[in-house]
A and B are shown apart, each in its own frame.
Chain A
C-alpha cells in the first residue's frame, strides 16, 4: 500500500504544484523582474486593494460563521422532516455560476427587488454591506457542514459529565465543546475567508469602482495585456493566502488525545425534540434563514416559470424553449449531452478528489497546509500555469479531470481530514493488534465512520466543479459543453430566461441526487445506533 500513497502524493503534486511552479519559473525568468516588483510596490493603490481584499474577507467569513453555527447545532442535534433537503439547498450557491447568484441577489434585494418592495425598505446591496452580505450568502453553508459534522460525533457523555459536575449549559459549551469544535470552526472560517478574498463579480457589482479586490486588480491588468504584472500579483496573492493558511493551521491542530473525545456515532441518538421552546427557536431561525438566503434562490427558480421576465401566469415556456432547437443551435450540443457532461465530469472529479483527500489525510497529516494551497490561486493564474506546463503533453481528458480536482480538492480535503482526525486512534491500534491489514482497517473502520464526512466532501466537490467555467474552457476549448459553459453561452446570446431555467434544473437535480445519497446513508447509521 505504500505505493498507493506515494502515487496519490505524486498525483497531487502534478495537479497542484507543477502548474504553480511553472508560473513561478516564468516569473523568475523575467529580465525586468525587480523593476516590476518595485513598480508594483510603489503603487499606492495596491495597499488599499490588499487592505480591502482581506478585511472584507475576514468580516464576511466571520459573519458566515455566526450565521451558520446555529444551523450546525440544529442539524447535528435534532432530527426533523426535510433536514437533508434543507442542508443540500444551502449548497446551491456553490453550484450556480456567479452571474446567476448576482442576478438572484439583485432581483430580490435590489431597488426593484421582491424583498425590498415587500418590506417597503430601500436597497442596501449596492454598498460595502452588500458585498459582505453576498459573501455570507455564498459561504455560510460551509460551517453548517463542517462544524455540524464534528458536532454530530462529539461524545455527549463528556458534556453530560460536565453538567453533573455542576457546569451550566453555557459554561460546558465553552469549556468542553468549543475547544473540541475549534479546528472545524477555524477551517470553515478559513475556507469562507479565502473564497471571499478571491471574489470578483460580486465586488464589482455591489461595490462599484469604490472597492477593488486583488482579483479585480489582476483581471484589469490581464485585460490591459500587462501579463507579467498580473502573474506577479497572482503570486503575491498566493503568498498571502498561504500565510493565512499557515496561521489557521498553527492555531487549530488537534492533538491525538482530543480525537478520543469523538465517538463512532452519536452516543445519544438524534431526537425529534419535544421541548416547545427549542421547537419555536428552530422554526424561527430557519424561517429567517429561508427568507434572507433562501429567498433570492427560490425567487430566481420561480422566475424561470414566468414568461420572459414579465409578470404573468406560470408557464413552462422557458423550459420548452430550453429544450428547443434554437437553444441547441446556440449551444452546438444537445441539452441531454450537457447534463451528462456536467454530472459525469463533476462526479468523477469529486470522487477522485475524495479518494486523494482520504489517502493524503490518513498518511500525510503534517502536510495539511500544503494541500490547501489551491485555495489561494485563482483559476485564471492556475490556467496559465497549466498552459506553460501540462497542456502540451497531457491527454485532454486527464487534464480536464486535473483542473476540476484542483477546484474541488481544498474543500474536499478540509472536510475529510477533519473527519479523519475525529476518529479515535485506539480503534486503529486495536484492529492492527488483532492482525487487520491496512485495507481492512480502511474498509471496516475508517470508511463507515467517515461516511457523513465523505458524503459532505463529495457534495461540495461536485458543486464546485459544476460551477467552473475557466478550467472547462481551458481544456475543452468550447467543444466540451458543461452546464456552466452552456449557461454563459445562452446569456451571451441574450437567452436569460432559458439560462435561469437551466440553472433551476441543475440545482434541482443536484438536490435530488444528494438527498437520495444522504438519506440512504442516514438510514444505515441510524441502524447502527440501535
Chain B
C-alpha cells in the first residue's frame, strides 16, 4: 500500500499519516473503490454516447481485414458514419447473440450467416427485409431468399482437395471416392460440428436422395481417416501430409498458388457437381441505424467490394458482372450447384434426423 503514498499530495499525506496504522488499508481500499466506481461510470456514459453514431456490424472472426477497412472508409466518406465491427468466434456464437439481444438489438447489420440459417432467422424474427440496389446483378441460383430477409454476398463450392504429389491419380466420381483400394486417405470435417462438413452431408443427400445417402456413407466410411471437429484441423492434417484428400473449398488451391507459388494442391469436383456454401447478410430488425445498415449492405454488393472478396475471403463474388482475379484460374467450379435440389424448409425440418441417422451409420 505504501506504493500509493507518493501519489498523494503533502496535505493528504499528513492526513493519511494521522489514520491509525491498522485502519490505513481499509481507508485506501475505500478510496480505491470510489475511484473505480468513478472510472466505471465515465466508461459507461462514454460508451452510451458513442454508440449512437455507429453502424454496428456483426460478423465472424475470419472476415478479411481488407474488407473491413474498405467498408469503414466508404461509410466514413459517403455518410460520415463510423463502423464498428464485432467479431465472433464462429457463426453459431453470432446467431446465439442475435437471439439473445432480440428485444434490444445492438447490431445493425449481420454479415456471414449461411443460407441454412435463413429459416431459423425468419422464425426467430431477427431480420427485416431489404432488397439491395444491385439485387438484379446477383446470380439467380444463389438467391436463397426471394423476400430478401437475407441477401447472398459470396459463395464457395464445397469440394474435395488433393495433394497431386502424393496422389497422382485422384478419384473423380463419388463412386471412386467410396470405392475399394483407396485406403484411409480422406479427411472430412465432422458434419455435426463444422459448416463445410454439414454442407457435404447435404451434398450427398441432394445427390443420392434421402434414401440413398446413407448407403454412400457406408461405403465411404472405410476410406475416411479422420473427421475432425473443424475445417481448420482437417486442413492442417492435410497440408501436414497425413492424408492426401481433404474436404475443403474449390478455392483452397488459390491460396497455395498465391503465397507458395505451387500448383501441387488441386481441387476435385466429383461428378462435376458440388454444394455451394452461400453466405448471406441481413439487416437486423429493430436496428437503430437502418438507413446506414442498408447503405453498408449495398456497398457489400458493389463492384469494388465484390472484386476484393475473392483474394480476401477465398470465396466467389455473387455478382454476375464481377471480374475474378487471375489466381482463381486454379479454383474449381462445378457445372451444377446442388443446393436447389433440396428445399431449404426440408433441410431445416429434417437436418436433425438426417444427422442422427448419419451418426448411427458412421458409429
- On A, residues with C-beta under 8 Å from B are 1, 3-4, 7, 99, 102-103, 106-107, 110-113, 126, 200-201, 204-206, 208-210, 216, 219-220, 222-225, 227, 303, 308-309, 326, 329-332, 383-384, 387-388, 393, 395, 398, 437, 439, 469-470, 473-474, 477-479, 485, 488-489, 491-496
Q: Are B351 and A224 in contact (CB under 8 A)?
A: yes
Q: Are A329 and B66 in contact (CB under 8 A)?
A: yes
Q: How far is the CB of B112 from chain A (nearest CB, A)?
A: 12
Q: Are B86 and A478 in contact (CB under 8 A)?
A: yes
The size of the chain B interface, using a CB distance under 8 A, is 60
In the complex, chain A residues whose CB is within 8 Å of the CB of B26: 3
- Bound state CA distance, A200 and B228, in angstroms? 10
Chain B 218-247, CB within 8 Å of chain A: the 1/0 string? Answer: 000000111111101101110111110000
Determine which of B193, B232, B314 lies in contact with A204 in the assembled complex, contact meaning CB atoms within 8 Å.
B193
From known contacts A111-B184, A330-B65, A488-B61, infer whether A473 and B228 are also in contact, taking CB-CB under 8 Å: no
Determine which of A113, A384, A437, A492 lies in contact with B232 in the assembled complex, contact meaning CB atoms within 8 Å.
A492
Q: Are B43 and A201 in contact (CB under 8 A)?
A: no
Q: Are A103 and B227 in contact (CB under 8 A)?
A: no
- Bound state CA distance, A383 and B252, in angstroms? 32
- B29, CB-defined interface residue at 8 Å: yes
Q: Are B85 and A478 in contact (CB under 8 A)?
A: yes
- B352, CB-defined interface residue at 8 Å: yes
- B89, CB-defined interface residue at 8 Å: yes
Q: How far is the CB of B86 from chain A (nearest CB, A)?
A: 4
Q: Are B87 and A326 in contact (CB under 8 A)?
A: no
- Bound state CA distance, A220 and B190, in angstroms? 10
- Bound state CA distance, A331 and B314, in angstroms? 16
- B275, CB-defined interface residue at 8 Å: no
- B335, CB-defined interface residue at 8 Å: no
Q: Are A208 and B242 in contact (CB under 8 A)?
A: no
Q: Are A201 and B228 in contact (CB under 8 A)?
A: yes
Most buried by B among A4, A7, A220, A331: A220
In the complex, chain A residues whose CB is within 8 Å of the CB of B359: 209
Q: Are B184 and A103 in contact (CB under 8 A)?
A: no
A-facing residues in B88-109 (Cβ within 8 Å): 88-89, 92-93, 95-97, 99-100
- Bound state CA distance, A187 and B111, in angstroms? 45
Q: Are B232 and A488 in contact (CB under 8 A)?
A: yes
Most buried by A among B224, B240, B351: B240
From known contacts A4-B29, A388-B100, infer whether A204 and B352 are also in contact, taking CB-CB under 8 Å: no
* 29 A-B residue pairings within 8 Å (CB atoms): A4-B25, A102-B233, A103-B240, A106-B242, A110-B242, A111-B184, A112-B241, A112-B242, A126-B226, A206-B226, A209-B192, A210-B363, A216-B192, A309-B241, A326-B259, A330-B65, A331-B65, A332-B65, A388-B100, A439-B25, A477-B85, A477-B86, A478-B87, A478-B88, A488-B232, A491-B232, A492-B62, A494-B235, A496-B236
- B22, CB-defined interface residue at 8 Å: yes
- The 9 residue pairs across chains A and B that have the minimum distance between CB atoms: A478-B87, A492-B62, A204-B229, A209-B362, A332-B65, A494-B255, A473-B89, A477-B86, A110-B242
